[in-house]
Structure 1
Amino acid sequence: MSLIARKGYTLERFLVFLTVGTQLPFDRLVKACELAQSSSNLDFDVTYQVGQHGYHPKVGRAREVMSRGEFEDTLRLSDLVITHAGIGTIVSCISIGKPLIVMPRQAALGEHRNDHQIATAKAIGSEIMVASNASEIGDFITDAVIRRKPGELRNNPLNTDFSNKLMNIIGF
């Protein structure tokens, strides 16, 4: 059973899934989404996957880690995904046609060993929403919630052109 179903979310509301991946917490991203959720008058729910020892937001529902099945269910049921610029999450979203917001980790802020996530975001940035700060996260969420109805994006067909471009970029 997905975290969404267990926590009582309704599929009538716009569902956002924030995931930081499995390697490191990404508190700057989690806090940016928390700020957007707590200061918005829009109706949306957020499931946060914050990583081990990651910051736990005061709004939404947070888990440090998820099983593969919980992750896939939550991803499938969400209307929008917010993530670091990890290629695994990006490929997962693209493969099911899930819209996403990406915020790359920055080495200068101690969020990663190097800036490969910035390079990834630059390489595919014209195809997805790439945020560099908290206010952009809020703006992108607002745009997604206002423009779309709950459930409209949950089962989008695969964007083949973009998937092919992405696979060429990452060398698959």
Structure 2
Amino acid sequence: MSSDSKCVFVTVGSTKFDALVAAVLSNDVFESLKKTGFDRLVIQCGNSKVPLSPRIWNDEILLDTPINGISTSIWRFKKSLKDNYAAADLVIGHAGSGTIIEVLRMGRKLIAVPNETLLHNHQAELAEALDTSGYLIASPVSDLAEAIQQAMSKDFERFPEYDGSKFSRILDEEMGFI
């Protein structure tokens, strides 16, 4: 793999998000990935349906082959996605708070796609707030190809580093220690 290789990593987390997996494997998204210079696509699909009828290589790897000129790997679960986030030039993920925070703290470009099938659609609220602040792009599944174009041409705000002292200070104030 050359140093010019560009990778997009897609994650649905521990949930099932069929619509995101199907959208990522659509012709529109592959065209958008090619236009922006990507040559590798890695998808963590969880328990989602994969519309390609992939050959099952083993319990985890579902597919590892080029599709539309882009090297594509699809697998279900790993203990940690940290290495995948680190290797990605762009992360497309469900808009779960844990995924968002981990990806943004690593300084990666992120497209957060809320899973609208979840109760109360809390993911949409979080994604929209962070989009408005300039940290990521919030996108519905239907606009994913366009969101990829936007993400690769946008300069994102740097997400703040973790500061554990803030929580301690709030707790101390509430308990009357300060």
SS in 2 for 1:30: helix
Cα drift, residue 114 of structure 1: 2.5
User: Equivalent of 1:55, from 49, 52, 56?
Assistant: 49
Corresponding residue number in structure 2 for 1:120 = 126
Task: Go from structure 1 to structure 2 and tell me whether the alpha carbon gap of 1:11 and 1:112 turns closer, same or farther (over 3 Å shift).
Answer: farther
| Alpha-carbon contact 1:49-1:63 (below 8 Å) kept | yes
Question: What's the CA shift string for 1:115-140, capped at 9, x where partnerless?
Answer: 11111122212121111232x21012
Cα drift, residue 102 of structure 1: 0.7
Structure 2: how far apart are the matches of 1:99 and 1:163?
18
* Aligned-residue identity in percent: 26
SS in 2 for 1:81: strand
Structure 2: how far apart are the matches of 1:31 and 1:139?
16
| Alpha-carbon contact 1:100-1:129 (below 8 Å) kept | yes
TM-score (norm 1): 0.69
Corresponding residue number in structure 1 for 2:60 = none
Asked if 1:32 is matched to 2:40, the reply is no
Cα drift, residue 160 of structure 1: 4.7
Gaps (5+ residues) in structure 2?
53-66, 171-178
Structure 1: how far apart are the matches of 2:23 and 2:161?
27
| Alpha-carbon contact 1:18-1:48 (below 8 Å) kept | yes
Corresponding residue number in structure 2 for 1:3 = none
Query: Could you say which structure has the greater relative contact order, defined with CA pairs below 8 angstroms and 6 or more residues apart?
Result: 1
TM-score (norm 2): 0.67
Q: For this pair of structures, how many residues does the alignment match?
A: 142
Corresponding residue number in structure 1 for 2:84 = 74
Computing the radius of gyration over CA atoms, which structure comes out larger, 1 or 2? 2
Corresponding residue number in structure 2 for 1:12 = 4
Asked if 1:141 is matched to 2:153, the reply is no
**Structure 2 letter corresponding to 1:48:** I
Cα drift, residue 11 of structure 1: 4.5
**Structure 2 letter corresponding to 1:46:** L
Q: Report the RMSD for the aligned CA atoms in angstroms.
A: 3.1
Gaps (5+ residues) in structure 1?
1-8
Question: What's the CA shift string for 1:18-60, capped at 9, x where partnerless?
Answer: 00111x11111112221144344434221000112x1225442
- Which has the larger share of strand? 2
| Alpha-carbon contact 2:96-2:123 (below 8 Å) kept | yes
Corresponding residue number in structure 2 for 1:4 = none
**Structure 2 letter corresponding to 1:131:** S
Cα drift, residue 10 of structure 1: 4.8
